[in-house]
Structure 1
Amino acid sequence: MTQAPTPTPTADTVRRLVRTLLKEDPRGGGPDVRPVTEGGSTTWWVGARHVLRLAADRDAAAHQRRELRLRDLVRPHLPLAVPACVAHGEWSPGLTCSLDTRIPGGTAEDHDVSAAGEGDLAGLFTGLREVPVRQAEALGVPRAAPRSLEALRRMAVAAAARLAAADEFDAARLHQLTPLGATQLAAQPGTAVLVHHRLAAGHLVVGGDGRVRGVLDWRGAVLGDPAEDIAGLARAVGSPTAVRAATLAGYAARPCLRGLWLARCDTVIRLADRLAGHGTEPSPALRTELAHAWEAILLERVTELREGDGT
């Protein structure tokens, strides 16, 4: 059966929906609403205290239902805020919606993370590691196999050559990661934890003081390689901050360096693909992520990894 076309949300429909969710008088004017992104959106600001998120299709609706349950599971383990659901329902047949609390603050796009904020991120890593894997799996959180860093390195080498031809990147920088090094940094067995998997700058709520106050968008969470979240932070806030936070959380050299090189290879590949006309992410944002991932860190001076380094 073909699914009916998804209606386009408007300010009036969003306002009526919010009044229904909050069981307010339908004759009232309703709250101020505006889309989070210009030109319409499935995510809307509702007044100053709430955010309304609308599932665009049935797959997104299933992810949203799981996300609501997962946020309740992770919240007690984290020192950071996780959005709480005030009300939920359907905004169109089969399409869910969630009215969530808005966490005060800007994002990592607006504010730099301070030294104290790195401690907050360390608490995030520690908390994710403490979430019971079986309980997350029972909610439907999928398992994700670790990526091959060597395969990613080979793709990045080819992408770096294209960027070098466009005068966007020095391809020789990738020579730091040798095939042997990529093999040494393979994910260690038995290290799967809950991974947020979307630690982008726009998903980290950061205050003007540089403290990290909350983490948004848990739809992509998986059970897998913790180095993926280290990589996400490296792209979002810079490699030094990401590695220091992971080190504070107890991760040793191997997963930190693995996360670093996942981020570096990913950013080279994604920018090269975008310049070739693929993807929709804006090139300036991808260039910013590339610069963040390629910031030098002290840990890069480590040339030998001992067997005991795989936390």
Structure 2
Amino acid sequence: MTQAPTPTADTVRRLVRSLMKNGEGRAGGAGGDGPDVRPVTGTEEGGPWVWWVGTRHVLRLAPDRHAVVRQRRELRLRDLVRPHVGVAVAVSVAHGEWSGGLTYTLDTRIPGTTAPVHDVSAVGEDDLAGLLTGLREVPQRQAEALGVPRLPPRSLEALRTAAGRAAKQLAGADEFDPARLGQLTAPNAAQLTAPAAVLVHHALIGEHLLVGADGRVRGVLDWSDAAVGDPAEDIAGLATAVGAPAAVRAATLAGYGVRPCLRGLWLARCDMVVALAAATRGRGPAAPLPALRERLRRAWEPILLERVTELRGED
């Protein structure tokens, strides 16, 4: 797999200058020495591959061939989902190759800050409900024709077992009480089956949700992990991003019943226990430990639904 040289500010500035010279993009904040560019930091998708360009644009560089495929698919998918989801989706004002067949996209910057900064308001929960509803309405055949994969639903029982092992490790570090997982029994996990497949964003973590100071959800970033699959995965992502109660309320407003909501809740809880345990062993994802602890806390916020629901019969 081809690996690109690490881009520098000069690399990015030369690329943006060429776009402005050719009239393909108009990056705000340009000075006499070229546009103001700086790397995006503090997010999982930042580092040397994502750059602020002026005040109105974001440059995303594909670091390898795998990322090229994902980026090209994402550009087409964003156009497909934009009319459906009711929140802003970035627009590419220029795209092409930046180094040896590796691609870039210069995107419009969506106002707002990431979800961990601002809490989502009640109206923001309506925005999230509209997002989930819109994803359900996106034609699956059109998405798959763009190369969006179809993923089978995960086994909640297998995840429950893995979380149980991880919880014991975290207990030794005084990070988590394994007794909390006792709420999800094997019979309950067996009942929380996946609903019908829809298009799912599949990465609705807080860093990909842009929220205004008023609590409204302004936009959704990074559609490169999108798939046709289990909608509970997006409910799970929202639980870690905005908290379990807000996620379940949004999913309920979107028309999802008890089982999909509880399935999403437990996917989030088990995922975060497993992720935090792996991170404490130095084998986890790129997210730092404080961020993982915060996601775990949000996913484990209590909700009324699980207190009053007995999983018998239909929803």
TM-score normalised according to structure 2 size: 0.93
Of the structure 1 ranges 298-307 and 168-177, higher mean CA displacement relative to structure 2 is found in: 298-307
Aligned to 2:262: 257
Tell me whether 1:151 sits opposite 2:158 in the alignment. yes
Aligned to 2:301: 295
Distance 2:106 2:140 in 1: 27
State the shift of 1:301 in Å: 2.0
Query: Which residue of the other structure, out of 188, 208, 215, is the alignment partner of 1:210?
Result: 215
Structure 2: state its 5+ residue gaps.
Answer: 24-30
Q: Deviations over 1:27-65 (max 9, x none)?
A: 963210000027951000000000000000011011000
Question: Does the aligned pair in 2 maintain the 1:9–1:40 contact within 8 Å?
Answer: no
State the shift of 1:82 in Å: 0.1
SS in 1 for 2:103: strand
Map 1:130-145 → 2, pairs under 5 A: 130-145=137-152
Aligned to 1:116: 123
Question: Does the aligned pair in 2 maintain the 1:21–1:89 contact within 8 Å?
Answer: no
Map 1:14-53 → 2, pairs under 5 A: 14-23=12-21, 29-37=33-41, 40-53=47-60
Q: Deviations over 1:150-178 (max 9, x none)?
A: 01001111111111111111110100000
Q: Deviations over 1:268-298 (max 9, x none)?
A: 1111111122124211111101100000001
Identity %: 71
Map 1:142-181 → 2, pairs under 5 A: 142-181=149-188
Tell me whether 1:185 sits opposite 2:189 in the alignment. no
Task: Tell me how large the CA RMSD over aligned residues is.
Answer: 1.6
Distance 1:273 1:224 in 2: 25
State the shift of 1:186 in Å: 1.6
Question: Does the aligned pair in 1 maintain the 2:127–2:217 contact within 8 Å?
Answer: yes
Distance 1:74 1:112 in 2: 25
Aligned to 2:283: 278
Aligned to 2:27: none
SS in 2 for 1:265: helix
Question: Does the aligned pair in 2 maintain the 1:21–1:88 contact within 8 Å?
Answer: no
Question: Does the aligned pair in 2 maintain the 1:44–1:52 contact within 8 Å?
Answer: yes
Over 3 Å counting, the alpha-carbon distance change for 1:307 and 1:70 in structure 2 is farther
Tell me whether 1:58 sits opposite 2:56 in the alignment. no
TM-score normalised according to structure 1 size: 0.94
Distance 1:244 1:303 in 2: 15
Distance 1:165 1:34 in 2: 41
Q: Deviations over 1:75-107 (max 9, x none)?
A: 000110000000001000110000000001111
Question: Does the aligned pair in 2 maintain the 1:125–1:249 contact within 8 Å?
Answer: yes
State the shift of 1:21 in Å: 2.1
Q: Deviations over 1:239-284 (max 9, x none)?
A: 0010000000000000000000000000111111111221242111
AA aligned opposite 1:22: M
State the shift of 1:109 in Å: 1.8
Aligned to 2:201: 196
AA aligned opposite 2:50: T
Question: Does the aligned pair in 2 maintain the 1:239–1:295 contact within 8 Å?
Answer: yes
State the shift of 1:306 in Å: 5.2
State the shift of 1:10 in Å: 1.1
Question: Does the aligned pair in 1 maintain the 2:201–2:225 contact within 8 Å?
Answer: yes
Distance 1:285 1:111 in 2: 15
Structure 1: state its 5+ residue gaps.
Answer: none
Distance 1:221 1:278 in 2: 24
Distance 1:85 1:113 in 2: 27
SS in 2 for 1:7: coil
Distance 2:75 2:32 in 1: 29
Tell me whether 1:103 sits opposite 2:110 in the alignment. yes
4+ residue segments displaced more than 4 Å:
none
Question: Does the aligned pair in 1 maintain the 2:188–2:311 contact within 8 Å?
Answer: no
Distance 1:162 1:197 in 2: 27
AA aligned opposite 2:37: V
Distance 2:64 2:313 in 1: 46
Distance 1:75 1:195 in 2: 14
